[in-house]
Structure 1
Amino acid sequence: MSAILKLKGVSKAYGTQQVLKPISFEVGEGERICILGPSGCGKSTLLQLVAGLARIDEGEIEMNGVVVERGNHYVPPENRPINMVFQDYALWPHMSIRQNIEYGMKRRKVPKGDMENRLRRLQSLLKLDGLLERLPAQLSGGQQQRVGIARALATEPRLLLMDEPLSNLDVKLRTDMRSELAGLLGDLSIATLYVTHDRMEAFTIADRILVLREGGIDQIGSPSELFERPATPWVAQLMGYHNRLKVRFGDAADSVVLAAGRPVEGVRMTPGAYAGAGVMMLHPESIFVCEGSVSDGGNRLEAKAIRAIYEGTRWRLIVETADGQPLHLFHDERVEPDARLTLRLPAQSVMLYADPARSADG
């Protein structure tokens, strides 16, 4: 797969604030990469650098095999093979939907016949039939979002940049639109760089997810790679591993650790030096209450129920391990406070990391 976009050691600072550390990655032809991370981690800044709306401090940006920025060499946004869908759609309020979609094509002097063909295709593809003569204010949020995408696609960019385009929609519409958008981008096979802070949105849309934290890349990989093998405790937490236990490592050769005084065996060790204190990350979905009599040892923990919260189809249990560490898990039945439980931790679902003070978790 040839690369549509290459970033090599790109960094950005505003005064003394280092917004982006030197980062490097590629976007392949037709590939969808979601940039995932919390507010303030540098997601939108990265998109602005790629678009040319802000200048890089160091490094190089290449598109379609052509360097668009390096040192004093700079290609402005209008001459880059990109288009952008903004968070607020940025539609011209005084123009009809037709005029909004045609605007970029007219600026680029697309022949009238080609313009009409593209307009018809986008109207059908994005379900805009009967809406072309309306003004943006006469459309729903979902319809405006589709118009913003249609306008971005009309100039047939090689790379589409999307800055949290669903964030202004209500929860149901957002859920519906992310599935629709994933199908659309897949059908069009346009390379896409998509900014979001929503994990499920990234899982639905991305071929690969780039996890950005404090201006640096913590991990980049497929959704399954990030979920099944998070590289750091911070990525694990982002993937939903909200339970964090302090552990003591035993003999690293046989991967034995002690969690709340009990041995945990047969687990996959993430790269790092394992001695003394460490961290175990557990997903609430991967902790089970043992029913009936169970044998001692083997990936089991004793716990005391603290609270049970009804969530419709199941109960969320908040429990406390023997050494006072809290855990959240799900169960089919309500459990009374102070009830004693034995929990089972499947080895393949346990994530172990070195001392956070020496890991990427900081």
Structure 2
Amino acid sequence: MNTNMILSISHLSKRYPPHLVINDLSCEIHDGEFISILGPSGGGKSTLLQLIAGLVTPDEGEIRIREKLVSSSETMIAPENRGVNMVFQNYALWPHMNVYDHIAFGLKRQKLPRAERDQRVQHLLQMLELQGLENRVPAELSGGQQQRVAIARALATAPKILLLDEPMSNLDGYLRLQMRSKLKALFGQLGTTVLYVTHDPEEALAMADRLIIMRDGRIEQMDTPQQCYLQPASPWVAGMLGAINSNNSLEAAQDIELINMGDQSMRGMIPIPEIHIVTGQRLELRSRPEDITIFEEEPTSIPPHYSMVRPLVLDSGFEGKHWRITLLVEPDIFFYGFHHTSLVSGTRVWAISDSSKLFIYPFTNP
């Protein structure tokens, strides 16, 4: 990956009164990176893309592309002069225009010679598997084909940065999975710098070189997918990345990584060095159901870095690949684990977990 900085955002803010949609946001993006921007609806993801594209003026802060100031409260370079293209959630295809003309649209505006234009269009048709569809209009295309036309149109003018705003939200699950692999390979081949907005954590993790995880207009964490997943910076980030098991009714013991649950205990991990916990402080625990292993008979041994408790089975729910088991340790401490069969409610089982996958945070009121 090229380490040259292509995009610099400094103390960016945008208000749509009474809401502060982007809140003092700063980050740097390197040339050729694929950045997934993950967060809930209303978190500021799409507004951030619109600010980068030049469709919206910031209230404070700056955006620089290749060190050139393109956005501030006083300076706005026009969208067409930024070297940035954007693919919208609804693809924004023109109903009367065929596939060829969509892809060639920007090239015609650039007055590219016909032979060179045709060559570039044919290259993109081949790369995005759209050969033979040149004369079709959007109504004659599937959702996946429409998506690829929108991406081909955006790539035709060789933008410095490509912005994708939830481009797969209109596709079914199987097609999304197919397109995820194809797009990741395509952008890697082209070396395009991509900012890709999604609310799907699995999609974000699978495609990104780095993740931006946003909440309320701020960046909660920006790091590699592996680092965000294994060392989430906050309970909210942990929950966004699948750690839905949560309990905040415990206090830190003298050994702050040993969590007492009544007369039972489990060992956890403080995920990042910046988190500071003291004895007696109220804790919030986070873990993922897939990291809880359930045994119907007592295991003969467990690895030294694992902990074990004996919870009560409350419920079993079939989810296709597995059963989701609701487990109770104490009257106010329950969590989920996955198992290959249903378990009888009211029976006691053994549950073990790797301490590095039980995250400990100081509790803060939401």
| TM-score, length basis structure 1 | 0.94
The 1-side partners of 2:233 and 2:8 are apart by 23
1:293 offset after TM fit, Å? 5.7
The 1-side partners of 2:271 and 2:124 are apart by 49
Matching residue of 2:286: 281
For residues 226-267 of structure 1, give each alpha carbon's deviation from its aligned partner in whole angstroms, at most 9, with x where no partner exists: 110000000000110110123221125x63232344233363
Percent identity of paired positions between Structure 1 and Structure 2: 39
Q: Which of 340, 353, 357 lines up with 2:361 in the alignment?
A: 353
Following superposition of structure 1 onto structure 2, how do residues 41-120 of structure 1 map, counting pairs within 5 Å? 41-120=43-122
| Residue ranges of structure 1 left out of the alignment (5+ in a row) | none
Matching residue of 2:342: 334
The 2-side partners of 1:26 and 1:172 are apart by 33
The 2-side partners of 1:229 and 1:57 are apart by 33
**Paired letter, 1:46:** L
The 1-side partners of 2:38 and 2:330 are apart by 36
- How many pairs are equivalent? 357
Distance 1:73 1:313, change over 3 A: closer
1:292 offset after TM fit, Å? 2.4
Matching residue of 2:251: 248
Distance 1:266 1:245, change over 3 A: closer
**Paired letter, 1:202:** A
The 2-side partners of 1:207 and 1:283 are apart by 23
Matched residue of 1:74: which SS?
coil
On the 8 A contact 1:36/1:198 being kept in 2, the answer is yes
The 1-side partners of 2:271 and 2:52 are apart by 36
Q: Which of 194, 201, 204 lines up with 1:202 in the alignment?
A: 204
The 1-side partners of 2:261 and 2:286 are apart by 11
Matched residue of 1:150: which SS?
helix
On the 8 A contact 1:245/1:259 being kept in 2, the answer is no
1:203 offset after TM fit, Å? 1.4
The 2-side partners of 1:118 and 1:64 are apart by 25
Single out whichever of 106-115 and 205-214 deviates more from structure 2: 106-115
Distance 1:92 1:131, change over 3 A: same
For residues 253-311 of structure 1, give each alpha carbon's deviation from its aligned partner in whole angstroms, at most 9, with x where no partner exists: x6323234423336345412334210111110111124326689972222111111223
The 2-side partners of 1:286 and 1:210 are apart by 24
Single out whichever of 309-318 and 136-145 deviates more from structure 2: 309-318
Distance 1:312 1:265, change over 3 A: closer
The 1-side partners of 2:45 and 2:27 are apart by 14
The 2-side partners of 1:7 and 1:194 are apart by 16
Matched residue of 1:187: which SS?
helix
On the 8 A contact 1:255/1:269 being kept in 2, the answer is no
Single out whichever of 135-144 and 266-275 deviates more from structure 2: 266-275
Following superposition of structure 1 onto structure 2, how do residues 77-226 of structure 1 map, counting pairs within 5 Å? 77-226=79-228
